Structure 1
Amino acid sequence: ELAEQALPLAGAIATKRNAEVVLTTAVTAGDRWVDDGFVRQWESEEQAAVESYQRSIIERLQQQGVHAKAHSDWGQPQAVIESVADREGAGLIVMTTHGRSGVSRWTLGSIADKVLRTTNTPLILIRPTAEAPVPEAVRQIVVALDGSDLAEAALPAAERFAQAMDASLLLVRAVVPPTMLYGGQFVPGGLPVLDQLEAEAKQYLERTAERIRKSGLKVGVAVAVGAATDVILTASREIGADLIAMTTHGRSGLNRWILGSVADAVVRHGGVPVLVIRSWPRLSDEAPEAIPVVGDVVVRPPVLTETEQATGSPRPRRGDVRPHRPERSPGR
Structure 2
Amino acid sequence: MPASITETGGDANHRRSASEHPASPVDGGVVACLDTSWLSHKVIPHAAAIAHALHASLTLLHVLEVAPKTDVPLDPFEWDVRRRSAHDYIRRLASERGDETFHIDTIVVEGQPAEQICLWARNQKVGLIAVGTHGDSGAADWALGETARKLVETCSGALLLVPSSVSDADVVHYRRLLVPLDGSSRAESVLALATRLAREQDAELLLTHIIPVPELTEIGPLEVEDIKLKDAVIRRNERVARQYLERIRARIAEQGLAVNVILRDGDVRGSLSRLAVEEAADLVIMSAHGRGDRADVSCGSIASFLVTHTATPLLIVLRGSGAGSSASTEKSDGRPPGRAVL
> Could you tell me whether the CA contact under 8 Å between 1:125 and 1:273 is conserved in 2?
yes
Alignment of 1:90-239 (within 5 A): 90-98=126-134, 106-129=142-165, 132-133=166-167, 136-179=172-215, 190-239=230-279
**Residues 132-151 of structure 1 deviation map (CA, whole Å, 9 limit, x = unaligned):** 42671111101001112232
Q: Which amino acid aligns with 1:24?
A: L
CA distance in 2 between partners of 1:30 and 1:111 (Å): 15
Partners of 1:6 and 1:192 in 2: how far apart? 46
Q: Secondary structure at the match of 1:190?
A: helix
Structure 1 gap ranges (5+): 283-293, 300-332
Does the 8 Å contact 1:99/1:109 carry over to 2? yes
1:69-102 CA-partner distances (Å, limit 9, x unpaired)? 111111221222123323443232111113999x
Larger mean Cα displacement after TM superposition, 46-55 or 115-124: 115-124
- The 2-side partners of 1:143 and 1:115 are apart by 22
Q: Secondary structure at the match of 2:257?
A: coil
The structural deviation recorded for 1:65 is 5.3
Distance in 2 between the 1:208 and 1:140 partners? 17
What CA RMSD, in Å, does the superposition of the two structures yield over aligned residues?
A: 3.4
Contact residue 98 and residue 127 of structure 1 kept, 8 A: yes
Q: 1:279 to 1:207 in 2, by over 3 A?
A: farther
TM-score, normalised by the number of residues in structure 2: 0.70
CA–CA distance in 2 between the matches of 1:23 and 1:73? 11
Query: What are the within-5 Å matches in structure 2 for residues 1-332 of structure 1?
Result: 1-30=38-67, 34=71, 38-63=74-99, 66-98=102-134, 106-129=142-165, 132-133=166-167, 136-179=172-215, 190-249=230-289, 257-279=297-319, 295-296=336-337
CA-CA distance at 1:224 after TM superposition: 0.9
Give secondary structure in 2 for the equivalent of 1:143. Answer: strand
For residue 19 of structure 1, report the CA deviation from its aligned partner: 3.2
Larger Rg: 1
Write out per-residue CA displacement over residues 273-320 of structure 1, whole angstroms, 9 at most, x where no aligned residue: 0111124899xxxxxxxxxxx942589xxxxxxxxxxxxxxxxxxxxx
Distance apart, 1:66 and its partner CA: 3.7
Q: Which has the higher contact order (CA 8 A, sep 6+)?
A: 2
Q: Provide the secondary structure at the position in 2 that maps to 1:221.
A: strand
Question: Are the counterparts in 2 of residues 267 and 273 from structure 1 also a CA contact under 8 Å?
Answer: no
Percent identical: 28
- What amino acid maps onto 1:133 in structure 2? S
Counterpart of 2:245 in 1: which secondary structure?
helix
> Residue in 1 aligned with 2:32?
none
Work out the CA distance in 2 between the residues paired with 1:204 and 1:61.
Answer: 42
Equivalent in the alignment of 1:288 = none
Deviation at 1:234, TM superposition (A): 3.7
Following the alignment from structure 1 to structure 2, what is the Cα–Cα distance between the partners of residues 69 and 43? 23
Please give the alpha-carbon distance, in whole angstroms, between the structure 1 residues aligned to 2:271 and 2:338.
19
Q: CA deviation at 1:105?
A: 5.4
1:317 paired residue number: none
SS at match of 1:123: strand
Give distance in 1, aligned partners of 2:234 and 2:67.
60
